[in-house]
Chain A
């Protein structure tokens, strides 16, 4: 009865095909269709949209911005998240649980709510922080936050930080607690222990966290939509606009597919690199 396992996974496969493969294939197909202001979508096979996306400098700039933001967010999340996870891991029992909740709790709150929080603090001259800074005489005009790349990066880092902390935390958990003592007994100072012993061992965790954060940052929608708005578009907000405002679905589809392909390539490439680098050591 060799076929039984395949038959049994048929429902799941059907569901996967129904909700992932088919819409994806339709989106890819859509990106080759034509569109006109008055004629709407025409089911023909042309490369117009792809030509536009790949040659127009507007799209270059937008994709460049998308990946620049994703890269900065990933870097920031790693620089802040890894030490955060390390400190968390060293905390004693009641505090550790409490702070884990503080760090992971935001995952329970909608991204929109969390991003709106940033907007309330820094949004123009009515933002709380901006108001305070101006009233205190520390700033003459509101800090440029809304509709800036910095703003999107800061808010996205905040939103995506828990994923990095979780990934690093998981690899810290696998660390033999005696290993740091072993290094200390051999004469290593606290900084050497961190740099030579702990960091190399949690590197796979940091890298896998980075892959997750990068992918989520590059495809994020709510945060860039709220902070970046219509003025500072990234790939996902642009695709959204093409679909729902301009109604140029084929162009939006081309943007969406290109984003997907680029992301898959980056994530897959990084994974290959990590696996080859660490296969020997961490099997």
Chain B
């Protein structure tokens, strides 16, 4: 039996169905991402697991027990909010220690565990600071440490990296994955960034309008998208003669679908092409190997899959 089970989970706001019959099983230690466009019900799903939103239908079970019967304060889940929601009037150490204090952990043990956890997220030297005196990335780590220190059954992350700049976000992604591996906590991440979901997760749940379109490991969802929505959401895709082809799978060849290069954009490690063909505009991505590439206006032939 799975560790966390969502069964036919639904939430309606008035007549609007924010979450519509979501079924999902998460194994112990697994990292699962809820991925989807804005407003598809990701946060609502997370808040139902956390207990801050009452489901209008369905069930949530944790370790075989009905989670909906447990009060939010007693669920023992670690949550990192999108806004971090740090306590501004408490120092970093007090923020992280708050959960342990609520559990009645003695002061000495509390100090040790707070120290360990802050060390884990690389903030060992910042215990006496107030949240205001930290950068966005550091605040994010405090929020993570505060959620991890109580040794939660599940870690819930609501777009924890969306407030960081691209560079920092990448660094935090790697760190987040490492930390999760180290502590082995079952984790559910909410994000609308497909690259982030694919980089971090064991499995992703691609959501659309409150429904799960596909639940699969990232590679499988990318290679074998169950629906056109999933194919489009997980990356650029071409629809050529009814088949969906990823742009990086198309090569320039001696023969194949003929076309004219309309635009060519250099993006550092790769070239992005738009080619006019008989079956419409096709996007092509080619690795930058340093070789000469077709220029705008050139006539090219495109080949992919079995044909290449």
Binding site for B on A (CB under 8 A): 176, 178-179, 181-189, 192, 196-197, 200-201, 280-283
> What is the bound-complex CA distance between A162 and B112, given in angstroms?
47
Q: B48-85: contact bitstring with A at CB < 8 Å (1 yes, 0 no)?
A: 00111000000000000000000011111111011101
A186 contact from B51, B102, B132, Cβ within 8 A: B102
Q: Shortest 6 CB-CB distances between A and B: which pairs?
A: A187-B102, A186-B99, A182-B85, A178-B85, A200-B89, A178-B81
Contact in complex: A187, B85 (CB < 8 Å): no
**Dominant secondary structure at the B interface:** loop
* Chain A neighbourhood of B87, CB < 8 A: 179, 182-183, 197
Identify the closest chain A residue to B75 (Cβ).
Answer: A185
Knowing A181-B52, A188-B73, A188-B102, say if A281 contacts B79 (CB, 8 Å): no
Knowing A179-B87, A181-B81, say if A281 contacts B73 (CB, 8 Å): no
> What is the bound-complex CA distance between A181 and B103, given in angstroms?
16
Identify the closest chain B residue to A185 (Cβ).
Answer: B79
Binding site for A on B (CB under 8 A): 50-52, 72-79, 81-83, 85-89, 98-99, 102-103, 130, 132-133, 146, 150
Contact in complex: B73, A178 (CB < 8 Å): no
Contact in complex: A280, B130 (CB < 8 Å): yes
> What is the bound-complex CA distance between A60 and B286, given in angstroms?
90
Identify the closest chain A residue to B87 (Cβ).
Answer: A197
Identify the closest chain B residue to A189 (Cβ).
Answer: B73
> What is the bound-complex CA distance between A192 and B73, given in angstroms?
11
Sample (27) of A-B pairs whose CB atoms are under 8 Å apart: A176-B83, A178-B83, A178-B85, A179-B86, A181-B50, A181-B81, A182-B81, A182-B85, A182-B87, A182-B146, A183-B98, A184-B73, A185-B50, A185-B72, A185-B77, A185-B78, A186-B146, A187-B73, A187-B74, A188-B98, A188-B102, A189-B73, A197-B87, A201-B89, A280-B130, A281-B132, A282-B88
> What is the bound-complex CA distance between A282 and B130, given in angstroms?
9
What is the distance, in angstroms, from A180's C-beta to the closest C-beta of chain B? 9
B85 contact from A179, A189, A281, Cβ within 8 A: A179
What is the distance, in angstroms, from B110's C-beta to the closest C-beta of chain A? 13
Contact in complex: B99, A281 (CB < 8 Å): no
**Dominant secondary structure at the A interface:** helix
* Chain B neighbourhood of A183, CB < 8 A: 87, 98
* Chain B neighbourhood of A182, CB < 8 A: 79, 81, 85-87, 146
Identify the closest chain A residue to B156 (Cβ).
Answer: A185
Contact in complex: A201, B88 (CB < 8 Å): yes
* Chain B neighbourhood of A188, CB < 8 A: 73, 98, 102
B132 contact from A179, A201, A282, Cβ within 8 A: A282
* Chain A neighbourhood of B86, CB < 8 A: 179, 182
* Chain A neighbourhood of B133, CB < 8 A: 280
* Chain B neighbourhood of A176, CB < 8 A: 83, 85
A281 contact from B81, B83, B89, B146, Cβ within 8 A: B89
* Chain A neighbourhood of B103, CB < 8 A: 187
> What is the bound-complex CA distance between A283 and B81, given in angstroms?
22
> What is the bound-complex CA distance between A183 and B143, given in angstroms?
12
Knowing A185-B73, A197-B87, say if A192 contacts B50 (CB, 8 Å): no
Given contacts A188-B102, A200-B89, 15 further A-B contacts (CB under 8 A): A176-B83, A179-B85, A181-B50, A181-B85, A184-B52, A184-B73, A185-B73, A185-B75, A185-B78, A192-B102, A201-B89, A280-B130, A280-B133, A281-B89, A282-B132
